[in-house]
A and B are shown apart, each in its own frame.
Chain A
């Protein structure tokens, strides 16, 4: 059949382009074998290094850092009240995270109890911020009137240092969990709102045009173009929100209350317990880094196409 014949030659020539773009097509079996051998050899040394090399560097780097710290602290240049040994700090941290509180302890509760308390406040606050912030941001991006009405408040609140509000909320609610959660929510809210808003606003016009041409309704465009495009922005917003929320919860606990890592820091300072103080600070660093790492992984999983832009 005439058309059928034409079709097969059509396919053949598209195929030519494919062959051009595929570089791993083996032409000569011998050279292919050679390449394979090189690749296997590379895997045993270079491959392992590629995979774990940066981790090894990090671990060695950190070990050196803490050894230097230990030596410096033991040399006695700085009073141990201000600067504990690294081993003392790790010991306190390990004990505080694994053992239950001795009955004669100065501070009621171990590090682990305060950690869980802080994480609970933080997660409730950030969850509330997401529940409020994501829809608010999406609405602001999608509706010109909502945007006009809300944007002065969003920018105003976003530029006000939330710490300045802490005394006000203490006045309103006292040294309660409610006060702490409110401050966390307010701190985490604005990065989430602004990112979701920006995501909707920057959705590529050509993607929207393409969806329209292929018959998408307004709802289709929202669900199938704007939302997937905005999702990585929302995750970035939540990531920032967790960071801000972390700062807020520690500050709220330092201001007042009798629980949480912020409270533990002030108690450690009051009792000249520098090992405990440094242990808590180290813990805060570890928590923050883990949150960043986790949200990065979620981001890469949800929006792999953005990976190239980011890295």
Chain B
């Protein structure tokens, strides 16, 4: 059985060159987000004055020092935190909470340990009212189990799987509802180098086929360059957008040896100096 990726909404509405189409999907305007610290009775600004547009079908990587607010950014897109100031809109409507059009892959997998692989992938269908019949859901779950090659592990529990397999469950769970936007919070950070490369390659292939919109957090400059259409470098806390860089490298990048291209090393140098600046500049942004 083939996975019929043409059946996906965002793929069909995005035929043609996605970079030419330029259809804004996520629009953040002067967004400031933070947290209430209950214990110290004060407010902590995590992101300040963020203005960014992510287009439909685009793969955007967020890069920045630890604690700069990358997770906060995708939490704001997912709707589990709301902006203090400014606005964030998805598909023309302000974000007021989580929705089935956005799904997330977590750094620590965040799989329910008491649910089997299959049941974990099924979970979003239980919580979200998608208007799908039981049979349609079964089909979906099976299709995405198959996509991440976990057939035969349906009845396994997460603790019985390797790290790479667990994250494939996380990816299948996020993709199964066929969300418009895939949010990924360092999904491959805890996975060994070889498996990571294979999974990056798979993700790139999947994304180029489906024109999935992705916002992807990473600590790795190489991962950002090999996966992203654009790279957003964020400064120390409170995070601001320091620079947005286009990645003009041919795709699919994993099949070709893009790392040997001069454009690759040039971009790498550039980002490295930006990130290094941030790492060395010290805590100038403390409130």
Interface residues of A (CB under 8 A from B): 1, 3-4, 6-11, 13-18, 20-21, 204, 206-207, 209-217, 220, 224-225, 228-229, 303-306, 308
Contact = CB atoms under 8 A, between A and B. Distances in A.
A216 B78 CA distance: 13
B98 A214 contact: yes
B6 A3 contact: yes
Query: Which 3 residue pairs spanning A and B have beta carbons closest together?
Result: A14-B149, A215-B128, A210-B110
Nearest to A231: B114
Contact of B100 (A3, A206, A209, A215): A215
B127 A17 contact: no
A10 B98 contact: no
B173 A214 contact: yes
A11 B168 CA distance: 12
B202 interface: yes
A15 B147 CA distance: 9
A213 B255 CA distance: 33
Contacts of B102: 213
A10 B127 contact: no
Given A10-B202, A14-B148, A17-B195, A214 B127 contact: yes
25 contacts: A4-B4, A7-B2, A10-B3, A10-B206, A11-B149, A13-B201, A14-B147, A20-B195, A206-B108, A206-B110, A207-B112, A209-B75, A209-B110, A210-B112, A213-B78, A213-B102, A213-B104, A213-B183, A215-B100, A220-B126, A228-B112, A229-B114, A303-B114, A305-B113, A305-B158
Interface SS majority for chain A: helix
A10 B106 contact: no
A220 B209 CA distance: 34
Contacts of A217: 127
Contacts of A305: 113-114, 157-159
Interface residues of B, number: 50
A303 B177 CA distance: 28
B209 A212 contact: no
B80 A212 contact: yes
A306 B27 CA distance: 42
Contact of B80 (A16, A204, A209, A228): A209
Contacts of B159: 304-305, 308
A216 B97 CA distance: 11
A204 B3 CA distance: 34
Nearest to B80: A212
A210 B112 CA distance: 9
A10 B200 CA distance: 12
B5 A3 contact: yes
B163 to A, nearest CB: 10
Interface in B59-102: 75, 78, 80, 98-100, 102
A216 B112 CA distance: 13
Given A209-B110, A213-B78, A305-B113, A10 B209 contact: yes
Given A7-B5, A10-B202, A14-B202, A210 B113 contact: no
A204 B110 CA distance: 9
